[in-house]
Amino acid sequence: MQDNILAASTTSIAEAVRAERNTLGLELPYAALSMLGAISDDRVFYRVAQNGLTLTGYDDLPIDVSDEAEILFKTEAFRSAVIRSATLTRKISVDGRLNDVTVTVAQTREGLGEISARISLIALLVGLGFFVLAVSLSAFATGRTLRPLDVLANAVSRRGPSDLRPVKAEAPTEIVPLVTALNRFIERLETSLTRSEDFIAEAAHRVRTPLATVRAQAEIALRRVERPENKTALRQMIRAVDESSRSAGQLLDHAMVTFRADHMEFDTVDLSALVADTVERLAPLGDLKDISLRLGTMPSNAMLKCDPILIQNALRNIIDNAIKYSPGDSDIDIALTADDAHYTITVRDEGIGFSDMKTSELARRFSRGPNVGEIVGSGLGLTICKEVAIAHGGTLEMKDNPGRGGCVSLVLPH
């Protein structure tokens, strides 16, 4: 831009030079220099020379001779400033002699630098402004677009683990296929879960019944055979059947417990009644070894939100162990206590206890202690108890009684 104005003012000065009789005349056009002042506060210099000799203007302003009609631009140092100059040479004849008239117009560049700095700053600010505006608009637009997805995610994550109803959140058309796909998936999951539950119950029935038949037949045969080696063989067979039957039963119970723990369905039940009922059902098993199950006093209103089938299963395993690992003609004490935060079901027996066993390892799958001897078992009972405790946010504790025997507690928060 500066070059254009310099060129214009140089040209208009050059055109103002004319031959007058035997000399050159120049009336400096005011407008030629004032237009330079209009763009900035920079200083303006000019020089008009005839054959290298200054006619008017600044003597020390360097001049160059340019080809006629062509403007020569230069940037150079002048009076401790940087100037930009435009030079135009015209050939004018005076008294029949050709003269080189050189017009140079120059301007310092400081103000211009300031202007361009100011323009760059404004451009930067405008750019920044647009950037901030674009970012906030896109954040707003993204937020609006993603809100339905958030609503959907909240609706699904707030659900209980067994809530498999179809999702009914209002969704914009773009998300409808996602909701439809999600609902189809939930439907398939529900079918497959129902199938697994049915399968576990069916398998338990189909495995236990024939084994019970084999065992009964073996018992009858044992009474009939005379020879000792046949009796031994039949006894081994009965034991193998017992072990298979126990393992199959415990494996299926374990599968059932894992399944229910994954899809907890809570009922509010009276824990005292549940404990009393379980103890009553197991009393005949104790009777076989002359072991009496003694129920202590229990809190009258011990209501707990839990899966009663799981709690019953765990308690059955704890009492079953107490009977199995106690000597005949002993007592087992079952108690239910409550504090501010927990209900604790405690089963104390008069057996050998856990003294030389690592209790944490006993709750691992298929882990049995060194005290089992001939006692049939699969090593899954305490695993089941621990999983039930964890599913209810509680713990399973195994320790020795101060006197003798073991003490197993199921601690359940309420």
Ligand X SMILES: Nc1ncnc2c1ncn2[C@@H]1O[C@H](COP(=O)(O)OP(=O)(O)OP(=O)(O)O)[C@@H](O)[C@H]1O
- Residues lying near Mg ion in the complex (CB under 5 A) are found at 321, 381
Selected from 57, 308, 394, 406, the binder of ligand X by CB under 6 A is 406
Minimum Å gap between C-beta 365 and ligand X is 9
Q: Which does 380 bind (CB under 5 to 8 A by kind): Mg ion, ligand X, none?
A: ligand X
Q: Which does 286 bind (CB under 5 to 8 A by kind): ligand X, Mg ion, none?
A: none
Residues 224-283 that bind ligand X (CB under 6 A): 246, 250
Q: CA–CA separation, 313 vs 254, rounded Å?
A: 10
The C-alpha torsion from 76 through 78 and 84 to 86, rounded to 10°, is -100
Q: Which stretch binds ligand X (CB under 6 A): 22-30, 136-144, 227-235, 370-378?
A: 370-378
Residues 317-356 that bind ligand X (CB under 6 A): 317, 321-322, 325, 349, 351-354
- Identity of residue 385: C
Q: Which does 379 bind (CB under 5 to 8 A by kind): Mg ion, ligand X, none?
A: ligand X
- Among 48, 50, 47, 46, residue whose Cα is nearest residue 35: 46
Binding-site residue total for ligand X (CB under 6 A)? 25
Helix (H) or strand (E) holding 294: strand 292-295
H runs (alpha helix) in 228-307: 228-262, 271-287
Q: CA–CA separation, 78 vs 389, rounded Å?
A: 94
The residue (of 183 and 367) whose beta carbon lies closer to Mg ion is: 367
| Other CB atoms within 10 A of residue 390 CB | 12
Cα distances (angstroms) measured from residue 117 to each of 8, 206, 270: 25, 91, 83
Minimum Å gap between C-beta 170 and ligand X is 51
Query: Going along 3-139, which residue ranges are E strands?
Result: 17-20, 23-26, 44-50, 53-57, 72-78, 81-94, 97-108
In sequence order, the 6+-apart residues with CB closer than 8 A to the CB of 226 are none
In sequence order, the 6+-apart residues with CB closer than 8 A to the CB of 41 are 111
The residue (of 32 and 382) whose beta carbon lies closer to ligand X is: 382
Which DSSP state fits 302?
A: -
Minimum Å gap between C-beta 407 and Mg ion is 15
The interface mask with ligand X, positions 283-322, x = CB under 6 A, is ----------------------------------x---xx
Q: Which stretch binds ligand X (CB under 6 A): 92-100, 191-199, 285-293, 381-389?
A: 381-389
Selected from 368, 395, 397, 414, the binder of ligand X by CB under 6 A is 368
The residue (of 39 and 309) whose beta carbon lies closer to ligand X is: 309
The residue (of 57 and 381) whose beta carbon lies closer to Mg ion is: 381
Q: Which does 351 bind (CB under 5 to 8 A by kind): ligand X, Mg ion, none?
A: ligand X
Q: Are 90 and 51 in contact (CB under 8 A)?
A: no
The residues that touch ligand X, with contacts defined as CB under 6 A, are: 246, 250, 317, 321-322, 325, 349, 351-354, 362, 368-369, 371-372, 377-383, 406, 408
